[in-house]
Amino acid sequence: MTMPTGTAYACDQNIKTAVKICQAQLKTSSPDLILAFVGGKHDPAAALGALQETFPGVALTGGSSAGAISTAGFGYTGFEIGLIAFQGADMTPQVVTTSDLLRGETQAGEDLGRLVRDRAADGSVVLLLFDNVASSSPLQLHPASQLMAGFQKGLGDRLLHVIGGGLLTDINLSDSWMIVNGCICKHAMAALIFPSNIKASTVILHGCRPVSSFFEITRIEGAEVLELNDEPALTVVERMLGLELGTTSGQQLSLVATLGQKQGDPFAPYDENNYVNRLILQANPASGSITLFEPDFAVGTRVQIMSRDNLLMLESVERGVADLGNRIAGETCLLALYIDCAGRASVMSGAATEEADLVLRSLVPAFPFMGFYSGVEIAPFAGNYSRPLDWTGVLSVFQRVG
Q: pLDDT per residue over 328-344, tens digit each?
A: 998 999 999 999 999 99
Q: Are residues 138 and 230 in the same domain?
A: no
Are 168 and 132 in contact by the 8 Å Cβ rule? The answer is: yes
Residues 215 and 201 in one domain: no
Contacts of 312 (CB under 8 A, 6+ apart): 206, 207, 208, 209, 272
Q: Are residues 86 and 184 in the same domain?
A: yes
Q: Are residues 279 and 340 in the same domain?
A: no
Question: Among the three residues 259, 285, 306, which one is the final residue of a domain in this structure?
Answer: 306
pLDDT reported for residue 123: 93
Cβ–Cβ < 8 Å for 82, 169: no
Distances from the Cα of 77 to the Cα of 43, 62, 223, 318, 353, angstroms: 14, 19, 30, 26, 17
From 306, 337, 367, give the residue that closes a domain.
306
- Name the residue among 379, 360, 381 with its Cα closest to residue 371: 360
Give the per-residue pLDDT at 381.
Answer: 83
Q: What's the pLDDT at 323? A: 96
Name the residue range of residue 24's domain: 5-205+314-400
- Cα gap 375→144, rounded to integer Å: 10
23 and 107 in a single domain? The answer is: yes
pLDDT per residue rounded down to tens, the chain (402 residues): 467 999 999 999 999 999 999 999 997 668 999 999 999 999 999 999 999 999 999 999 999 999 999 999 999 999 999 999 999 999 999 999 999 999 999 999 999 999 999 999 999 999 999 999 999 999 899 999 999 999 999 999 999 999 999 999 999 999 999 999 999 999 999 999 999 999 999 999 999 999 999 999 999 999 999 999 999 999 999 899 887 766 666 667 777 889 999 998 998 999 888 999 999 988 898 999 999 999 999 999 999 999 999 999 999 999 999 999 999 998 999 999 999 999 999 998 888 899 999 999 999 999 999 999 999 999 998 666 899 999 999 999 999 987
pLDDT digits (tens, 9 = 90+) for 309-368: 999 999 999 999 999 999 999 899 999 999 999 999 999 888 889 999 999 999 999 999
Q: How far apart are CA 145 and CA 106, in angstroms?
A: 9
> Are 201 and 218 part of one and the same domain?
no
Query: Which pLDDT does position 393 carry in this prediction?
Result: 97
CB of 259 within 8 A of CB of 225? Answer: yes
The Cα 119–Cα 103 span in angstroms is 24
pTM passes above 0.85: yes
Domain end call among 283, 306, 329: 306
Domain check: are 348 and 297 in the same one?
no
Q: Which amino acid is at 278?
A: R
DSSP codes of every residue in 340-368: EEGGGSHHHH--SS-HHHHHHHHH--SS-
Distance from C-alpha of 357 to C-alpha of 373, rounded to nearest angstrom: 13
Q: Are residues 219 and 367 in the same domain?
A: no
Per-residue pLDDT, 383: 62
pLDDT tens, position by position, 291-307: 999 999 999 999 999 99
pLDDT at residue 249, rounded to an integer: 64
Number of structural domains the chain divides into: 2
- Whether residues 283 and 331 share a domain: the answer is no
pLDDT of residue 391: 93
Q: Indicate if 138 and 199 belong to the same structural domain.
A: yes
The answer on 240 and 199 residing in a single domain is no
Contact assessment for residue 343 and residue 298, using Cβ atoms and an 8 Å cutoff:
no
CA-nearest of 93, 165, 143 to 339 is 165
Same domain for 58 and 106: yes
